């Protein structure tokens, strides 16, 4: 028997399932249900309180009316632009400092930061035989599934996995933050070896390197990287570490945590959410879209580029989904601050890598796309490039494989999920239990002989 085969009988059952669904879009408005937990204007429905981060995309005019403004992102009340400027101007990495800020709601002193980095370094290893038994012996084709599976497997190596005291959760979260780059990269190495017939190499992390440096070191066969490469990857980790508390995977973290379950189950559930192409997989779509564009048209011809973007929206190009990937965001309208920051530093990396022409193409599309989308779509707010638009290019310039784009997003976001898990445990005390309205009419039971 082929375990993965969709048999004619399964197809028949699938058709029966499709035919049994009678919920139509109009019912959501009829019952005042905020589908996707968003109202008619795209605003999120409030489901809780947080101190971890905040997004600002609207302001008020002189008459008190809401108007769109350039996007702002705050980590524990600190503007992300100021946070980035702080460590960049000091010419030092920022991810570890950002993790400390998200977890403890304060910026560390130099001594506090040094001690924190030392602790992360101590945790940057996996249990004996874990790589062999849990990763190499069961290679997979999807890195996010391998990452999620590996996180769940760590439960079995924890002597106190179900203790949900603050101290124990914090210990588990710090270990996952430190270990996740290893899980992601080693999972990729096993995939390359067993599915693509590539040489297998496993580098152990160096305790003197930070998170971004270690990730590049263990990923590359020669372990080499430039200072600018490490700086850009560190910046990308900072910008992906957290985002406003209203996204799908963070909500998943709160929901699963509220049940009282263990840290490994909560983080694995969040990883399952992030894997979805509507959430964490968007930067891969951006890169695939650009690959298709470059193989289909002369990208130096702006008229051809414009026609291609129109054909994307008309569902005639690329994956025919009707989307220009990397453009638009559920909250931001005029600008995504993460995209603004990445754009600036991506330009510098493009100069080091000799990829100025490709960067110019990105700038052209960023300029053209909002105008074209406005012409083709009814919109309640503006459209601008989001973080996925430039993060994919940064990852490509760093030589990162597409398979690791979303896992690296996850490596960063585990910091934010950890902060939200702690917050949920410390402040809630009740399981999150939403209500669904049943719209199915009651029917009589018919005995088997009479059906």
List the catalytic residues: 279, 329, 388
Residues 6+ positions from 57 with CB-CB distance below 8 Å: 68, 69, 71, 72, 331, 332, 333, 334
- DSSP bridge pairs for 79: 74
Is there a contact between 235 and 42 (Cβ–Cβ < 8 Å)?
no
- DSSP bridge pairs for 23: none
Beta-strand ranges (E) seen in 326-419 are none
Residues 6+ positions from 297 with CB-CB distance below 8 Å: 304, 305, 307, 308
Q: Tell me the C-alpha distance between 304 and 293, whole Å.
A: 10
Is there a contact between 392 and 362 (Cβ–Cβ < 8 Å)?
no
- The tokens for 242 are 């957290």
Q: Tell me the C-alpha distance between 379 and 57, whole Å.
A: 16
Residue entry with tokens 């990829």: 355
Q: Which of 216, 208, 209 is nearest to 188 (CA)?
A: 216
DSSP for residue 107: P
* Helix or strand (DSSP H, E) at 54: strand 53-60
Residues 6+ positions from 445 with CB-CB distance below 8 Å: none
Cα-based torsion angle of the residue sequence 315, 321, 322, 327 in order, rounded to the nearest 10 degrees: -140
* Helix or strand (DSSP H, E) at 139: none
Is there a contact between 309 and 297 (Cβ–Cβ < 8 Å)?
no
Residue entry with tokens 């929901």: 255
């Amino acid at each position: 028997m082929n375990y993965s085969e969709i048999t004619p009988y399964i197809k028949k059952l699938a058709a029966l399932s499709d035919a049994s669904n009678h919920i139509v879009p109009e019912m959501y408005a009829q019952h005042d249900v905020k589908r996707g937990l968003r109202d008619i204007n795209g605003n999120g429905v409030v489901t809780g309180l947080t101190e971890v981060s905040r997004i600002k995309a609207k302001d008020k005019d002189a008459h008190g009316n809401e108007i769109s403004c350039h996007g702002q992102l705050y980590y524990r009340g600190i503007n992300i632009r100021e946070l980035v400027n702080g460590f960049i101007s000091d010419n030092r990495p920022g991810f570890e400092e950002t993790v400390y800020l998200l977890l403890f709601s304060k910026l560390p002193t130099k001594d506090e930061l040094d001690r924190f980095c030392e602790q992360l370094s101590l945790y940057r290893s996996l249990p004996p035989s874990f790589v062999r038994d849990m990763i190499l012996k069961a290679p997979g084709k999807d890195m996010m599934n391998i990452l999620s599976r590996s996180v769940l497997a760590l439960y079995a190596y924890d002597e106190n996995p179900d203790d949900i005291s603050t101290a124990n959760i914090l210990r588990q979260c710090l270990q996952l933050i430190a270990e996740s780059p290893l899980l992601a990269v080693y999972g990729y190495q096993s995939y390359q070896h067993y599915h693509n017939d590539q040489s297998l190499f496993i580098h152990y992390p160096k305790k003197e390197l930070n998170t971004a440096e270690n990730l590049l070191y263990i990923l590359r066969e020669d372990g080499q990287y430039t200072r600018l490469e490490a700086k850009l990857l560190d910046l990308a980790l900072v910008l992906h570490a957290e985002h406003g508390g209203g996204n799908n995977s963070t909500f998943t973290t709160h929901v699963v945590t509220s049940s009282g379950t263990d840290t490994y189950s909560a983080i694995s559930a969040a990883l399952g959410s992030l894997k979805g192409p509507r959430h964490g997989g968007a930067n891969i779509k951006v890169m695939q879209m650009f690959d298709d564009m470059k193989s289909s048209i002369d990208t130096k011809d702006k008229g051809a580029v414009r026609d291609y973007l129109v054909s994307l929206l008309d569902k005639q190009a690329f994956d025919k989904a009707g989307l220009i990937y990397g453009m638009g965001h559920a909250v931001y309208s005029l600008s995504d601050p993460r995209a603004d920051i990445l754009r600036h530093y991506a330009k510098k990396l493009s100069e080091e890598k000799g990829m100025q022409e490709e960067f110019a193409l990105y700038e052209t599309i960023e300029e053209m796309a909002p105008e074209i989308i406005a012409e083709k779509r009814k919109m309640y707010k503006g459209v601008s490039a989001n973080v996925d638009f430039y993060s994919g290019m940064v990852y490509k310039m760093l030589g990162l494989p597409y398979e690791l784009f979303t896992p690296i997003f996850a490596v960063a976001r585990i910091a934010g999920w950890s902060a939200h898990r702690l917050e949920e445990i410390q402040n809630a005390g009740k399981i999150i239990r939403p209500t669904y309205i049943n719209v199915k009419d009651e029917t009589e039971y018919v005995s088997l002989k009479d059906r």
